[in-house]
Each structure stands twice: as structure tokens, then as C-alpha cells.
Chain A
Amino acid sequence: MEAKNMYIPYQMRIEKVTYEAPQIKTFKLKFVNPEDEAKFSFKAGQFGEYSVFGEGESTFCIASSPTRKGYIECTFREVGRVTAALANCEEGSIVGFRGPYGNTFPMESWFGKNLIFITGGIALPPLRCVIWNALDWRDKFKDITVLYGARTVDDLVYKHELAEWDSRKDIKLIQTVDPGGNTPEWKGEVGFVPTILEKNPPSSKDTIAIVCGPPIMIKLTLPILMKLGFNHEQIFTTLENRMKCGIGKCGHCMVGNNYVCKDGPVYRYDELLKLPLEY
């Protein structure tokens, strides 16, 4: 393979900024250079390094489905220097994008199965990509269920899409907020995600569970899935670790001998168990 300077980003124009929740925004990005766009493709689960020139790079998943051409989307929370600079960017300004990096959800191996997505808060974006991909390939899968929770109603991201999924017949959406996070108008569930999962137990037969969320949510969700009869090969998750280069060189994201940016971020649960707890 010919050596390349892997650190030159694509220039992307921000076509649309959507305010999702407090401190959370979605960017719809289009390639400035049409040749870049023509050559670009990715698969569900991959991420990129998004940058503000002069401030630095930050790692987010590609939140739009690979079946939708001509643009990519990312959703991020403002937590530090680069995300603060991104949050300050207006529609029409340019950001950098390097990618796609990482491995992918093996969606082809899920054909003919039920899919249940269990996620919370800002962890919906990485799965949103897979959900839309699955919906765009709808006849390849049996039942699709999304269990999504956030701290409060305000913190739910993709509110318009949640409303759309709620109204569709080919996807079952269960939304929940933490106790105390509901408003008088709230029609969804109230309770932590693992609790609501127990209330709406999925069948483990021919089902793939994709779990993505804060460590505490994953810690409490996995035993429930085990109890329901899921085995390790039926559960997928994504790992997050500090990343810089995105291509398995800088060392920041290493867990054991794995580079989360290269050997992950998608892990099947049995693969995850082989790694030391350094994530």
C-alpha cells in the first residue's frame, strides 16, 4: 500500500446545524470537493476525526446511514476545547473530517434476525447510523426495536426522528426518561433503561442486541440480557476511548493489544471480555 499523509482532512461545509438537546448539536456536512465525495463511502459503526482548523480534532461516530449518499452527519456534545469550537461554527463554515475509521457492525450477518437497540443519552448517535441503515434495508430484518432513554425529556436527542420512528409501523420505539426527568406532557416510560428493558423483555431467539451507552447502563443491562437467554455472540457494543490519530498509531486508545480505533470501536461481547478493563 502506498504511503500517504493520513492526516490531511477533507474540507466539509456545514450545511445544517440542528440543536438536539442542551449542549448537543448535529451537523449535516457536505464535501467541499466533489471528487472527495465521489470516492467516499463508509459502513455502519465507523467514525471520523472532525476538526476545527487551529483548535484540534475530536472523535465522533458518523451518525448518518451509509445508505444516504451526498452527506454525512455527526452529533456531539460540547465538553472541551474542540467541541466548544465546533459548537461555535455556523452553517456555511468549513470543518475538517478524516475518515472513515474503525471496524463496522457486521450487519450482513444479522440478516433474517430481530434487532434490538438499547441505548441512552448521547450514545444514540452511533446507533442512529445502524438504525437508519437497517430501516433502509428493512426487508432484510425481522423485528426492529429501539429502547432509548435519557436523563430528562430535554436530553433526548433526535426528537423529530424519535417522533417519526414512533409513528412507523415497522419499528417499535420505547422511550424512557429517568425518574424525575419527565414532564406533564410526557407519554413515554419513566425509569432507567435497564429497568424498562426488564419491563419489555425481548426474546433472545434469533435476536441481536446492540447496546451502547454510559458504562453504568451497560453494566446493568448486560446481566438482564444474559438472564433473558442472550449469549455473548448475540450482543454488540461500541467502545469509546481517548483517540487522536484514528488509525492505530498514536497509542492513546490502546486496550491491551487492541487499538479501539482500528480493531474497534465495534466489539462483540465475547471479544470485549478478552480485553483488560482499561476503557
Chain B
Amino acid sequence: MQELHNKIKSMLEGNSVALFIAYQKNSDGKITPTFITKPEQIKKAYYGDDCRQNLAVYVHKHEVKHFGKVGILANIYTLKALLQIYAENQFKDDYLKIVTVNPKGAVVEFANFQEVENYISENKPAPNPEYVAQVEKLSNLGREERWNYWLNELSTCIKCYACRAACPMCYCTKCTVESNQPQWISAPSHSLGNIEWHVMRAMHLAGRCIECNECARVCPMDIPLNLLTVKINEAIDTEFGQEAGTKGKLDFALSTFKVDDKENFIR
């Protein structure tokens, strides 16, 4: 941890950041985010394979932006999220300083998002075997069976929106579900309202979801929400060659229109 602490110290003291977002490990082993603004807080900073929360959610937060210059300790999924958010033009140039700890344990500070992009292409996360097995099992179900599986799972949703809050790609200041003219998505957590919400969110994440699995981790009802975007992401990769969180410059397939697009509805 010493190298990490030294890096944070030099960033705070050199005024390149006013706030550094990292992880801390508590006495009971729980990992939580920590917000370092003073040198005496640096010793709490921790990094390990057990650091799962995607800290990229904090970069959208009003109180965090208020600090002006912010540093963030990123695991591979946080890096993918930040790169995707950058590709979606959500960052002012000098807002973020990104630091990671590479597989060899060395602390790396990225000078720019191109370096983040290069790092990601060289350090693709290995697929989680449990996750792969779940996807395979679902894929092998018939259409009717798969629909019933989701009807059943989603009926338990309590509409707490932890999935939305924990997702770094859900940063709309007014979520579709908060609109009531018209009420696109029913607010109450009856079965229909739940399906509307999750299907809508999956569609809004199509090709943008970086598959960090936070949504499933945070769900109080243990619904495997991370499985909802897998096939859509695969489809976008197959059809358009785009994978979320890999490029800093993006003509996003679902929001870019070219004259030679095969659909003629806009001609």
C-alpha cells in the first residue's frame, strides 16, 4: 500500500487533486469507499482484488464535482466505465486524475484517456466462470421458459433503484422513470412496473454497459440483473463492432446515423 499512499500524498500535496476517492478496508473486512481530502486520511487507502464497488458512480455526484479536481483509484471495471463516460462527452478536461494498481502491483497514474484506453486493451478482465455458466444456462432455455424466468425474478423487485444508483452509466439527471408527463414507466413495484423498468434500463444500457456486475451485487433481492444486458451487448459487438468501455472516441452505433445505413426511415 505504501506506493499507493505515496502517490495519493503527492497528488494532494501537489494540488493536482482536492479530493481522492479510494477504497478502505474496515476492521470487519468490509470494503467501503473513502474520500480523502486531508493527508492524515491517506493511510486508510487500500487496494486489493476484493475492491469490487465501481467508484466511477461518484464522478457524476454534485458534491464530488464541487471539489474541482478529483483523483480516483480505479479497478479495471472503473477504468472501462470512466473511458465510456469520457467517450460520451461527460467530462471536463481537467476534472479527473485516474490511478490504478496494475496486476504486478505497481501504481499507475494515467496522463490522459488514451493511456486508459491502451491499458484496458492490454488488461482485459477474465470472464467470471460463474457468470459465464449463468449466461449459458439462460441461453439454453426456450423463449417461453426464459420469459417466465425473468417474470418470476423481476416480480420480487422492490424498485429501490440501487441498480440504477450503483451503475456508473446511469447518470441522467432526470431518469425516465421520474417523468410523469407521460408516466413512461409505472412507478409502483408491481410485476408490470418492474418489467417495464428493467427492460427500459437494459435498452438504455445497450452497448453502454461495461458489465461490472454492480447491479447484481447491490440488488437487495438478489436478482441477477447483470444478465439482462449480456446478449444486447453481444449483439452490438457482433453487428457494429463496438464494445463498451474500450474506446475514448465513439460514434455510438445506436446514436450515429450514416447516409448508407440500411434503414431508410430517416430519408
- A186-203 contacts to B (CB < 8 Å): none
Shortest Cβ-Cβ A-B pairs, 8 listed: A81-B181, A81-B180, A80-B181, A84-B181, A80-B180, A81-B183, A56-B180, A81-B182
For A81, the chain B residues whose CB sits under 8 A away are: 180-183
For B180, the chain A residues whose CB sits under 8 A away are: 56, 80-81
For B181, the chain A residues whose CB sits under 8 A away are: 80-81, 84
| A-to-B contact residues, CB < 8 Å | 56, 80-81, 84
CB-nearest residue of chain B to A56: B180
How many angstroms between the C-alpha atoms of A80 and B181 in the bound complex? 7
How many angstroms between the C-alpha atoms of A84 and B180 in the bound complex? 12
CB-nearest residue of chain A to B180: A81
For A80, the chain B residues whose CB sits under 8 A away are: 180-181
How many angstroms between the C-alpha atoms of A154 and B183 in the bound complex? 32
Interface flags for B181-202 (1: CB within 8 Å of A; 0: not) read 1110000000000000000000
Name which of A80, A81, A84 has the most chain B CB atoms within 10 A of its CB. A81
Which range contains the number of B residues in contact with the other chain? under 10
CB-nearest residue of chain B to A84: B181
For A84, the chain B residues whose CB sits under 8 A away are: 181
How many angstroms between the C-alpha atoms of A28 and B181 in the bound complex? 26
For A56, the chain B residues whose CB sits under 8 A away are: 180
CB-nearest residue of chain A to B183: A81
For B182, the chain A residues whose CB sits under 8 A away are: 81
How many angstroms between the C-alpha atoms of A81 and B184 in the bound complex? 12
How many angstroms between the C-alpha atoms of A80 and B178 in the bound complex? 13
How many angstroms between the C-alpha atoms of A43 and B180 in the bound complex? 33
How many angstroms between the C-alpha atoms of A81 and B182 in the bound complex? 8
For B183, the chain A residues whose CB sits under 8 A away are: 81
CB-nearest residue of chain A to B181: A81
Additional A-B contacts beyond A56-B180, A81-B181 (6; CB < 8 A): A80-B180, A80-B181, A81-B180, A81-B182, A81-B183, A84-B181
How many angstroms between the C-alpha atoms of A56 and B182 in the bound complex? 12
State how many angstroms separate the Cβ of B96 from the closest Cβ of chain A: 32
State how many angstroms separate the Cβ of B187 from the closest Cβ of chain A: 11
- B44-63 contacts to A (CB < 8 Å): none
State how many angstroms separate the Cβ of A34 from the closest Cβ of chain B: 35
CB-nearest residue of chain B to A85: B181
State how many angstroms separate the Cβ of A225 from the closest Cβ of chain B: 36
Interchain residue pairs with CB less than 8 A apart (8): A56-B180, A80-B180, A80-B181, A81-B180, A81-B181, A81-B182, A81-B183, A84-B181
State how many angstroms separate the Cβ of A59 from the closest Cβ of chain B: 15
State how many angstroms separate the Cβ of B5 from the closest Cβ of chain A: 39
State how many angstroms separate the Cβ of B179 from the closest Cβ of chain A: 9
How many angstroms between the C-alpha atoms of A81 and B180 in the bound complex? 7
